[in-house]
A and B are shown apart, each in its own frame.
Chain A
Amino acid sequence: MPPLYKALSSFLEADKINNLKKIGINNIIEFVEKDPEVLCCQSKISYKDIVKIRNVLLAQYSALPQNGSDLYETCISSLAIFSTGCERLDSLLDGGIFNGEVTEFVGPPASGKSQLCFSLAATVANESQRNVLYLDTNGTFSAERLQEIVSSHISNQEHIELALQKIYCCPVQDIFQLLQLLENISFNISQQTNNFHSELQLIILDAVTPVLAPHIGGKQMDGLGLMVRLSQQLMFLASEHLLTVVVCNNTVQGEKGIIKPALGRYWQHVASVTLKLGLPEERSGLTKMEGYREASILKSCRRATGQSTLIRLSSMGVEGVHHKP
């Protein structure tokens, strides 16, 4: 919360601030939280003034109420659903990946998280002609593979090039760089000056774990703070600028050898939809080598959790498997 001197006004002059500071009131939160009567006694400022200041501050910093039907209108007019490039997966996700929320792909190594991201990026760039930003923390981005996916969907060379020009990659190496970059994006979108940003639709963060993991564990507690900060920013970009945000998360081995999503409990609240990817079960007779993967819903507000479908990674990107071979 801002320090008190930011609220300097006709009611709150410098000498009153000094009085307040003497009794340990430094910022606006501390002022508002304190009982006005106590404050009046301690700081020797008149009760009337204190109530006045309080009201001004509260009005200045409060959120505004919104009407439900207005909200519905905006929702209807701004809702966009993007295909993952695989019909079966789309129907599992109730249509595809939604804008305005954070979607998470989680899975063990080589389970197809990045492949799904590539496929999604290709469809967004190709079908909606909007920009895609791929934040690469792991060195997984491959233009060669993207080209393969894009060109399996379109045959016109010019269109392929156009689609590839819409997909941007930025290597990210640490959390501070990432936070700054995201802040920068949201600033530029609100400024509407930059062509790239006004056309931006999809942000893919692949993967979130490498940048956060070095700060988690050990004695320092700042890891959690950074995680909260990152989640706030991702959610802000999604809800405020109506972007589609996709985050990949890794898996860790928990107690008793159970494989679970990394980053713990808190992170599970960040995504609105969590899609779990995994290798096919051994007894099904399908192998990883042939590209088979299993996708299931771990968390969703639209679909029952636990539903799953079989997919296959191929030169087309991600394909649905209709019948078991």
Chain B
Amino acid sequence: MQKEIGSFPLAPNVRFKLTKAGFTTLEDLKGITQRELCNEANLTYEETGEVLHLLFKDSVGSAGSDKEKHEDFTHKFYSAFDMSKNEKGVAAIVTFSQKVDEMIGGGIHTKKITEICGPPGIGKTQICLQLSVNVQIPESCGGVGGEAIYIDTEGSFIVERLLDIASATVNHFYSGVQENISQEEKARRKNLILEDILKGIHYYRCQDYVELLAVVNILSDFLEQHSKVRLVIVDSIAFHFRYGFDDNLGLRTKLLNSIGQSFMRLATKYNLAVVLTNQMTTKMNEFRGGNLVPSLGENWGHVCSVRLLLLWDKKERHVLLYKSSWRKDGEVPFKITHTGIQDEISSQGSSSEELDRSSILYKDLDCPPVKRPRLGS
């Protein structure tokens, strides 16, 4: 079968001219010079140069040989055997709630898009703040030692709250360190770490969906310069897409799909975890009235690899794993304290005081004096 011109990312008007001149397959263009193509297809010299370059990935001016045309893709195929070995070595970004982490397979995974949906006040932003701190836990402590990009569309990012969570996290890891240093020295070091954590969070504020699209598109440049970034958070993806599209839902679907695809591309290329939060909406059901479902419609539900639903069960916050290709569905409680995310029932002495990863990570956080009233409830 011949390669058709239509399967290349050419501008519509260029493709139209080529087709009109009778060039529909790659075979037709083989061996043609740039000058000849100009005359035949009624294109400018620059345009033909671009066309030939795109089609043959060859020096401008002459068409490539058979070999270059069929570049070998097999090196891009990874066998499940190799991947399963690699997947085991990958540390995930923990949430600090052991039960949640166990349910979703160790934490938020890189190279996947994770969506967190929930009604207002359930703690979506809190989880995002916690994750943007936790992604920076050094590898020696069982973390991934990365940085975070925080794209804020709602304006709900509160830096004081981030400071609470970050300092609790630093205290938590520092409490285990037995060093003969003075209290002052300890405090100084903690502050240094705290500053590093805040520096490791790159914050964008997007006022409308155009800004959001633009940020997503320039993110790859930023990621080139900041290779330590392991987490991209959008809080929330729904905010700018829930109004203003009433007469053009097709456009909304198209934009959301292309955002999803861009994130997938970035996640694969730069080994990122992408976390998107989503709001809930009421879907009317013929049989039993309203039903609370994630917003942005049916189509959006397919974009994320992992979907977590946050919901209230009486006075408890629950996380429900709704969609995942490798973990079973499940539901566990969690709570939000001034120090961040924790298990609802304190973990029942997880296998003595061994220095394994889980005991470092999930040991009860020692709580500094409460600075602000507890959130929620």
Contacts and interface: CB of A to CB of B under 8 A. Distances in A.
Interface of A: 1-4, 6, 26-28, 30, 108-110, 114-115, 118, 133, 137-147, 161, 164-171, 173-174, 176, 179-181, 183-188, 194, 196-197, 207, 209-211, 213-214, 216-218, 220, 222, 225-226, 229, 233, 236, 240, 250-253, 257, 259, 262, 288-289, 291
B261 A181 contact: no
Nearest to A161: B81
B307 to A, nearest CB: 7
A185 B74 CA distance: 9
Interface string B300-318: 0111010100000000000
Contact of A207 (B70, B297, B302, B329): B302
Given A144-B326, A145-B326, A168 B79 contact: yes
B261 A229 contact: no
B6 interface: yes
Contact of B7 (A139, A176, A196): A176
A226 B6 contact: yes
A214 B261 contact: yes
Interface string B326-355: 101111000000000000000000000000
Contact of A138 (B22, B81, B302, B307): B302
Contact of B264 (A139, A197, A218): A139
Contacts of B331: 289
A239 B361 CA distance: 54
A210 B268 contact: no
A317 to B, nearest CB: 12
A197 B250 CA distance: 39
A252 B21 contact: no
B79 A229 contact: no
A2 B25 contact: yes
Given A115-B325, A210-B302, A217 B261 contact: no
B18 to A, nearest CB: 10
12 contacts: A1-B22, A139-B267, A146-B84, A161-B81, A173-B261, A173-B264, A180-B73, A196-B74, A210-B264, A214-B258, A253-B298, A291-B328
B257 interface: yes
B251 interface: yes
B289 interface: no
Given A6-B28, A214-B257, A214-B258, A169 B302 contact: no
Contacts of B84: 143-144, 146-147, 164
A139 B298 contact: no
Interface of B: 1, 3-4, 6-9, 12, 20-25, 27-28, 40, 70-74, 76-81, 83-84, 86-88, 105, 111-113, 250-251, 253-254, 257-258, 260-261, 264-265, 267-268, 283-284, 297-299, 301-303, 305, 307, 322-323, 325-326, 328-331
Contact of A168 (B80, B265, B284, B302): B80
A187 B83 contact: no
A3 B21 contact: yes
Nearest to A132: B80
A208 B27 CA distance: 27
Given A139-B112, A142-B326, 16 more contacts: A3-B22, A3-B40, A109-B323, A137-B264, A139-B268, A139-B305, A140-B325, A141-B83, A146-B84, A174-B261, A210-B261, A214-B258, A214-B261, A217-B253, A222-B12, A259-B298
Most chain A beta carbons < 10 A, residue from B3, B7, B80, B258: B80
Contacts of B299: 209, 213, 250-253, 262
